[in-house]
Structures are given as C-alpha cells and as structure tokens.
C-alpha cells in the first residue's frame, strides 16, 4: 500500500505566505482600518510584491528576517489592487467581475488573507445555493434538545465573518438565484443579520454580539464576491444588490512576457509536487501562450484576424495545458513536447461548441501558416502537425 502523507496539494494563502504576512505586519506599523491585520499599503504590497526590493524591518523581531523581498502573487495593474483595498477599507462590498480564468478567486483569497488572516470563510455560489448558505441554518439535534438557542445555530461563513470581523468570500455570486443573492442586501447595508428565532436573546458563548435576535458586525467585516459574467447559468443581480458593491473588472493579462512567466511559474509549481521540473522549454511555452492570446483576443500579435472560439482561452487554461505537457513528458518520456501542443489545444478549445474545432483549424491555416511561411522553424513544425487538429 502507498505510504500515507500529510502533504497537501495547495495550501491556503494564509499558510502558504504566513512568513510574508508576519513580516509585513511588523514592517509597516502605520494606521490600519478597524479590524485589519495589516495596513492598506502592506496589503497592496503583499498582493503585487515589493518590485524586487528587499524591505527592512525598522527594528529586529524574534523569528523574522531582518529583510525580505515580497513576491508578486497576482499579475495585474497595481491600480486595480489599490482600488480593491480602498473599497474594503471603506466598508463597501467588493465585486470582482471578468472572464473565467483571470484570477478573480485568487485575488479575493489574497485580499481576505491579508486583511483578516483567512480566506476560508467562503460560499461557492451554484444554482443549488440556498439562503441558508449565506445566512444560517440549525443543528437540529441541539434544536430539538434545547430549542432555538445561539448554541444550536449553524452559522454560514458570512455570519461567521460578520461576528468575528473578517472577510467573507462569495464565489460565482451570479450563479445563485436572485432571491438567494438578495440575502446579502441587508447584510451589506445594515451590517447585521437578524435571527427572528432568537428575538429577546442577548449575548452568546462567543461574545456579546447578539442583541435582541440581531448579530451585529464586528469591525473588519466585509464581503468580496466574484462573478464570471460570460458564463452560462448567470442570474442577473438586482439593482439593490449592485448598489451595495463596488465593481472592479479583472482583465486578462495584457503583457505577453508577464503571462508566460506566470504560466511557467504555476505549471512549474504543479510539476514540483510530483518531484519533477517543468520539461517545456521557453520557445514551446511562448508558442503555446501566444496561441492562447491570439484565440482569446480575436487577433494575432501581428494583427491578423482570428476567429475566436466560444470557449474562454484563459491564462488558467494555459497553465493546465502546460502542466499536462510537463506531466506527459515527465512520466511517459515524450521526447518532443511541441508535438503534444495541437492535441491539448484542441482539447482546450473543443469544450462548449463542436464548431470550435473548425475555428482552431482556421487559426492553423491563417496565423500559424503565415508564421511558418515566414521561416519560423518552431511554427513550421507546428503547421506540419495540422492533421492533429483536423482529425
């Protein structure tokens, strides 16, 4: 039998970056919004990094290095992150919108971890999400034994965040039914949650946050929601709920070099969990990411028109394909990772609409053919693999 292990696939942000969070808390002793663990400036630095600079502590702290470079965790505009932080400091709900795969969930987790020490207070929105998932339910054994008491309450992650002064995350909020979404309206406007069954009660075992059946928000409480507005099954948000959020659009990565570096880093991390280095060279990786960008934007880097597939060719999908290339090469001994690119690209494209295979083939016959004719050896080899896409 295989040996048991305590290793995990992906650690939560607050554990993965615990050293950086502790360092930033000691490094920046400036004013902090009520309930925050870091200053707004330190939160921004945690997310976007220190731009290669080593930050130095003003005075020694046991268990912390004297200086530390903070790595960038989110690839995007610093201004976007700053606006997100200011929104949260102003106690407005934050809604991150954009196409799938633009790291909205990652950004929300990083912000929650930096502001309140955890990104785990999360509700995953689906068509099956109910109002209880956003408010509260009951431990029915205790309810039958003791009646409706605070002890018998089964709080949602949102209620837990409200009572403890932390950030709650609601993923894919527009996948919830509109009447479920609107459970957030009073929470965001009144900063309290009513539990009618507990009317007349005050205080509870966790602290005096219950006042006549109302749980009152502690300082630091807020909500970060995400929405993929291009996805199927989206429910329109009510005007009342929209007014309680500041909207921030998270766009795809604009810079090719930055996207290649991110894909290499994320895929390399995935391969490292298997004990392997990423066996995909820079030229193959650049060709793969360039193809994703061409198909995503509807135009090649040279300006040639490209028919966009219905599938979103996101950076996250590029990371998945690169990881697959690396795993197949590492485990199955494939000598030429480039030969695998057409098959995995076809698998990524042909998810929603069978006609997308024809769009990928048209891309092969236009952009890739033009590059091959211009003498680029790698693109010539890719064009020779056209039959994989056309099968």
Q: Report how far residue 18's alpha carbon sits from residue 114's, in angstroms, rounded to the nearest whole number.
A: 10
Q: What are phi and psi of 130, to 5 degrees?
A: -110, 170
> Angle, nearest 10°, between helix axes 341-349 and 315-332?
140
Q: How far apart are CA 316 and CA 322, in angstroms?
A: 10
373: Cβ–Cβ under 8 A, 6 or more apart, which residues? none
Pairing of strands 245-249, 93-97: parallel
What is the distance between the alpha carbons of residues 146 and 152, in angstroms, rounded to a whole number? 8
Q: pLDDT at position 201, please? A: 65
* CA atoms of 182 and 257, how far apart (whole Å): 41
From 282, 293, 337, select the one nearest 315 (Cα to Cα): 293
Helix (H, G, I), strand (E, B) or coil at 205: coil
Listed in sequence order, the residues at least 6 apart from 28 whose beta carbon sits closer than 8 Å to its beta carbon are 38, 39, 41, 42, 45
pLDDT at 3: 52
Tokens 């040996």, located at residue = 3
Quick: pLDDT tens for 58-112.
Answer: 999 999 999 999 999 999 999 999 999 999 999 999 999 999 889 999 999 999 9
Report the pLDDT value the prediction gives residue 233, as an integer from 0 to 100.
Answer: 64
Instruction: State both tokens at 1.
Output: 């039998």
Reported in sequence order, the residue ranges of 205-279 that DSSP labels E, i.e. its strands, are: 207-211, 214-216, 222-227, 245-249
Residue 134: φ, ψ to 5°: -100, -15
329-386: pLDDT as tens digits: 999 988 889 999 999 999 999 988 889 999 999 999 999 999 999 988 999 999 999 9
Can you tell me the mean pLDDT for 131-152? 93
The pairing of beta strand 214-216 with beta strand 222-227 = unpaired
> Are residues 88 and 265 in contact, defined by beta-carbon separation less than 8 angstroms?
no
pLDDT tens digits, one per residue of 311-334: 889 999 999 999 999 999 999 988
Among 289, 316, 287, which residue's Cα sits nearest to residue 99? 316
> What's the pTM value of the predicted model, to 2 decimals?
0.91
């Amino acid at each position: 039998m295989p040996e048991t292990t305590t290793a995990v696939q992906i650690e939560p942000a607050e554990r993965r970056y615990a050293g950086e969070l502790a360092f930033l808390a000691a490094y920046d002793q400036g004013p902090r919004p009520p309930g925050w663990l870091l200053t707004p400036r330190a939160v921004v630095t945690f997310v976007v990094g220190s731009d290669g600079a080593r930050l130095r502590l003003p005075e020694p702290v046991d268990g912390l290095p004297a200086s530390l470079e903070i790595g960038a965790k989110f690839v995007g505009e610093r201004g976007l992150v700053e606006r997100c932080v200011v929104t949260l400091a102003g106690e407005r709900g934050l809604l991150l919108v954009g196409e799938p795969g633009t790291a909205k969930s990652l950004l929300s987790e990083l912000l929650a971890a930096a502001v309140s020490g955890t990104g785990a207070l999360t509700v995953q929105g689906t068509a099956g999400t109910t109002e209880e998932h956003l408010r509260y339910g009951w431990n029915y054994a205790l309810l039958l034994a003791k009646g409706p008491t605070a002890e018998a309450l089964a709080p949602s992650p949102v209620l837990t965040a409200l009572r403890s002064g932390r950030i709650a995350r609601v993923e894919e909020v527009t996948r919830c039914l509109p009447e479920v979404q609107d459970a957030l309206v009073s929470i965001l406007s009144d900063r309290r949650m009513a539990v009618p069954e507990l009317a007349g009660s005050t205080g509870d075992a966790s602290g005096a946050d219950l006042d006549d059946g109302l749980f009152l928000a502690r300082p630091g409480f807020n909500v970060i929601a995400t929405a993929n507005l291009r996805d199927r099954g989206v429910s329109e948000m009510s005007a009342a709920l929209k007014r309680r959020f500041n909207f921030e659009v998270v766009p795809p990565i604009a810079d090719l070099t930055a996207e290649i570096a991110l894909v290499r880093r994320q895929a390399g991390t995935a391969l490292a969990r298997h004990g392997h280095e990423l066996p995909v060279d820079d030229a193959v990786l650049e060709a793969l990411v360039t193809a994703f960008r061409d198909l995503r934007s509807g135009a090649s880097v040279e300006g040639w028109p490209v028919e966009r597939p219905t599938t979103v060719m996101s950076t996250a999908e590029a990371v998945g394909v690169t990881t697959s290339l690396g795993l197949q090469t590492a485990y199955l001994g494939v000598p030429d990772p480039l030969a695998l690119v057409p098959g995995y690209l076809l698998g990524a494209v042909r998810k929603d609409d069978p006609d997308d295979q024809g769009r990928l083939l048209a891309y092969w016959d236009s952009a890739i053919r033009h590059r091959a004719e211009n003498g680029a050896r790698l693109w010539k080899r890719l064009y020779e693999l056209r039959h994989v896409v056309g099968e």
